[in-house]
Structure 1
Amino acid sequence: MTALIVSNVLLWGVVLALLLVVLALSRQIGVLYERVAPMGALTLDKGPAVGEAAPHFDLNDLLGRPHQVGYAGARSQLLFFVSPSCPVCKKLLPILKSVAHTERAWLDITLASDGEMPEHLAFYRKAGLESFPYLLSTELGMKFQISKLPYAVLMDEQGIVRAKGLINSREQLESLFTAKEIGVGSAQEWLERASVEEISRKENGNALA
């Protein structure tokens, strides 16, 4: 009987110890999540800056349809730079199609690249991208100073650049939309602002104490 009581006491001790460990780990995971915030699209400090007017282009797409870039209009425009030889670009194409559907009330998506027409036209048709204008222009990439792919530039209804960055996932693509909504150039800028505000609150709190 004594042995049974002792074993039960030890068992409950082990359960309580495990509970404390789980609580401690949960707290550490929460701290880690706060420190490692989800990253948005990485902005490269090149091309038209956020808040500046985008350069204007009048071009024909791969199918010969006239298309404009950077002009004021009724909807925002996402200029998405891709390449047939870019694996990440190909991975993002289904995401682009999904985003074009979910954000169709306010957003137009335009694909852009440079190179030889036959290669891009084959890529365009094989991927089923006919619903997107696809612009082939070296000057377009040079004006926006695109050096890495895939890269996206979001322009508002006035033709002003509102957000831009390298895109590797749906989350990074949608971070451009969030940046436009809250009035910052990128998720990184928002995180920096939040960090500065947090430091300022702590300093003010210490001063009052």
Structure 2
Amino acid sequence: MTVLGFTVVILWIVVLVLAAVIFALARQIGVLYERISPVGALVNESGPKIGESSPVFTLPNLTGKPVILGKPGSRSTLVFFLSTTCPICKKMLPVLKSMRSSEGAWLDVILASDGDEDKHRSLIEKADLKDFPYVLSADLGITYRVARLPFAVLLNPDGVVSAKGLVNNREQLESLFNATETGHASIQGFLEAKGIGAAHGA
């Protein structure tokens, strides 16, 4: 019994030490989480700037009627630039479907690209994108100075550019909406205005 009791005591000590270690690690993770700034979309400074009106485009649509983009209306518009050869673009398609469903009360999502129409029609079939307006226009990409993909532009109901940037994941795509809600061009701009970026750099 003495040996058994001693073993139980040792086991309890080990359990308490492990609990203390786990608590300390959890606390450190929380501290790190607070110190790490959210990474928003990588803003492209060229092309129409945040707060400027977008040029108005009337564009052919591979999945329906022609699309008029940039004209004032009652809803916001997210233009998502993609390519048939871009793996990250394809990875983002399920995110766009989810976002289109969750934000559909106020947001229209338009897919945009250029190039071989047959390849895009094939992508529409394989990825089941028939519910999205899908426009092909080299001029649209040139106007917004789209150099890297995937790239997104958010227009408010007045046709004004609310946010834009390179979006490689859901967090960066949602940061376009967050940036608009805060009244800043980007999450980075919001953090700098609050002095958070400077504090992190210290």
TM-score, structure 2 normalization: 0.86
**How do residues 126-205 of structure 1 correspond to structure 2 at under 5 angstroms?**
126-196=126-196, 199=199
Structure 1: stretches of 5+ with no match in the other structure = 200-209
Residue type of the alignment partner of 2:140: L
Farther-moved stretch of structure 1 (108-117 vs 32-41): 32-41
Q: List alignment gaps of at least 5 residues for structure 2.
A: none
Against the structure 1 CA distance between its residues 24 and 140, is the aligned structure 2 distance closer, same or farther, given a 3 Å change threshold?
A: same
Residue 87 of structure 2 corresponds to which residue in structure 1? Answer: 87
Closer, same or farther in 2 for the Cα pair 1:91/1:8, shift >3 Å? Answer: closer
Which structure would you say has the larger Rg?
1
Equivalent residue runs for 1:67-146 within 5 Å = 67-146=67-146
Residue in structure 2 matched with residue 35 of structure 1 by the alignment: 35
Per-residue deviation, residues 74-105 of structure 1 (Å, max 9, x unmatched): 10000000111111111111221121111111
Deviation at 1:167, TM superposition (A): 1.6
What is the deviation of 1:107? 0.5
**CA offsets 1:28-56 (integer angstroms, 9 cap, x no match):** 11111112233222222222111111121
* Residue 169 of structure 1, CA deviation: 2.0
**Which AA in structure 2 matches 1:42?**
L
The question of whether the paired residues in 1 share the 8 Å contact of 2:64 and 2:133 is answered with: no
User: Which has the larger displacement, 133-142 or 3-12?
Assistant: 3-12
Offset of residue 142 of structure 1: 0.4
* TM-superposition CA deviations, 1:89-145 (whole Å, max 9, x none): 111112211211111110011111111222212222332212211111111000000
Q: Which amino acid counterpart does residue 78 of structure 1 have in structure 2?
A: L
Question: Which deviates further from its counterpart, 109-118 or 180-189?
Answer: 180-189
Letter in 1 for 2:51: G
**More divergent stretch after superposition (115-124 vs 60-69):** 60-69
Structure 1 stretch displaced more, 159-168 or 20-29? 20-29
Change (3 A) 1:123 1:4: closer
Q: CA deviation at 1:170?
A: 2.1
Q: Share of identical aligned residues, percent? A: 51
> Does the CA contact (< 8 Å) of 1:110 and 1:133 recur in 2?
yes
Q: For the residues of structure 2 that align with 1:85 and 1:3, how far apart are their CA atoms?
A: 68
Task: Give, in whole Å, the separation in 2 of the partners of 1:44 and 1:2.
Answer: 72
Q: For the residues of structure 2 that align with 1:82 and 1:136, how far apart are their CA atoms?
A: 10
Alpha-carbon RMSD across the aligned residues, in angstroms, is 2.4
TM-score (normalised: structure 1): 0.83
